[in-house]
Amino acid sequence: MSEHSFATRAIHSGQRPDPTTGAIIPPIYQASTHVQDGIGGFRDGYEYNRAGNPTRSSLEVQLAALEGGVNALSFASGLAAEDALLRGILKPGDHVVLGNDVYGGTYRLLTKVLAPWGVETSTVELSELDDVRAAIRPSTRIVWVETPSNPLLKIVDIAAVVEVAHAAGAVVVVDNTFASPALQQPLALGADLVVHSTTKYLGGHSDVLGGAVVFGDDRFYEQIKFQQFAVGAVSAPLDAWLTTRGIKTLAVRVRQHGENAQAIAEWAAARPEFAQVFYPGLASHPGHEIAARQMSGFGGMLSLALAAGPAAARAFAESTRLFQLAESLGGVESLIGYPSDMTHASVRGTALEVPENVVRLSVGIEDVSDLIADLEQAVAGIR
């Protein structure tokens, strides 16, 4: 399938009609184990489903094809994928460099779960390459990149960070959740591994949790697969199937998310109620040029700083109607969030704190004039 373009791969990779009945969509293999033809006679390699399940395998083939990887593993959540990746690669005493506005759950995992195990972490402004160089120690094993970042949509030059990290012998992991492989392919820019919360754009319909690790080469597959098998945070067959179904429409969804977000960003940039619009598709965004180079579109996420301050931001987040107040992102329906007290509550008082006048929008694929009308009425209410 790799000879086909992205939208085609999203639909066909890992998808074979059922060989028995010809059903165009393979069945959901809702089973915990597989019968053996004699002891050790595994059919197609399947035995107990913590080790492997055909529905999960289909999704893994699809995920690897989308990111241009050699392999992928599918997990019960994005953080389960991150945990397996980190434990699979790191040992006590190792050091990880993180962006200073990394996803709060990643920060929590490293500083609250893996720190007691002996892993050390530094946060750094990843767009300042000298700062990245200075943060790297002899024990640095991983440089962890998220671009666009959450919730301020900062852009990091992936290829530039890869060069710095590789020169120091560190591995580069990119959390590609915000862009999705439809817009950005970190492995092609030199990254070693990609992680996803497939809960977001890949699943795309706010109906399933999931996560993935995608491998640029064979170095880490066995050890991370072992973590998955030994711990068991695998995706359930129905969850894997829902994610596969979501991915088939990824290319068209992401195109519409981006069009809608661009229109909303331009609308907001012209309004005095917003002190700042964080969207890489605006030419005024400091990362616009890098984003235009390393992404094929600017995505559906944007954040707004309310000029009138934190109380106005809270009121705004509570007065939209189509934009529903909820955590998460990347679904077809538009969401609004107040990061300081929602997605980023766990990083209050840390280096990752988010300005209190910021709201975050996950722009859905509803008609954009309805979305802008909703934001209009919400702005009118807080004036």
Ligand X SMILES: *Cc1c(COP(=O)(O)O)cnc(C)c1O
**Residues annotated as part of the active site:** 50, 103, 175, 200
Least distance from ligand X to the Cβ atom of residue 77, Å = 3
Q: Which of 14, 69, 78, 337 binds ligand X (CB under 6 A)?
A: 78
Q: Is residue 145 within the footprint of ligand X (CB under 6 A)?
A: no
The full DSSP string for 19-59 is: TTT--SSPPP---SB---SSTT--BTTB-BTTT--HHHHHH
**Binding range to ligand X, per CB under 6 A, among 125-133, 164-172, 174-182, 315-323:** 174-182
Q: Is residue 243 within the footprint of ligand X (CB under 6 A)?
A: no
Q: Is residue 175 within the footprint of ligand X (CB under 6 A)?
A: yes
Q: Which of 209, 277, 336, 371 binds ligand X (CB under 6 A)?
A: 209
Least distance from ligand X to the Cβ atom of residue 327, Å = 8
Element (H, E) at 73: strand 71-75
Q: Measure Cα distances from 324 to 99, 225, 331, 373 in Å.
A: 29, 37, 11, 14
Kindly tell me which of 69 and 319 has the beta carbon lying closer to ligand X.
Answer: 69
- The torsion angle over the Cα atoms of residues 59, 101, 145 and 184, rounded to 10 degrees, is 60
Q: Is residue 79 within the footprint of ligand X (CB under 6 A)?
A: yes
Q: Is residue 111 within the footprint of ligand X (CB under 6 A)?
A: no
Q: Is residue 105 within the footprint of ligand X (CB under 6 A)?
A: yes
Kindly tell me which of 176 and 319 has the beta carbon lying closer to ligand X.
Answer: 176
Least distance from ligand X to the Cβ atom of residue 105, Å = 5
Q: Is residue 228 within the footprint of ligand X (CB under 6 A)?
A: no
Q: What share of the chain is helix, strand, coil (3-state, %, to 5)?
A: 35, 15, 45
Q: Is residue 197 within the footprint of ligand X (CB under 6 A)?
A: yes
**DSSP code at position 187:** G
Kindly tell me which of 60 and 175 has the beta carbon lying closer to ligand X.
Answer: 175
Residues with Cβ < 8 Å from 303, sequence gap 6 or more?
Answer: 151, 152, 153, 277, 278, 279, 339, 358, 359, 360, 361
Kindly tell me which of 208 and 379 has the beta carbon lying closer to ligand X.
Answer: 208
Kindly tell me which of 67 and 146 has the beta carbon lying closer to ligand X.
Answer: 146
Least distance from ligand X to the Cβ atom of residue 216, Å = 19
Q: Measure Cα distances from 336 to 63, 272, 331, 343, 378 in Å.
A: 28, 20, 12, 11, 12
- The torsion angle over the Cα atoms of residues 316, 320, 326 and 330, rounded to 10 degrees, is -110
Token pair, residue 334, equals: 């538009």
Site residues (vs ligand X, CB under 6 A): 77-79, 103, 105, 146, 150, 175, 177-178, 197, 199-200, 209, 211
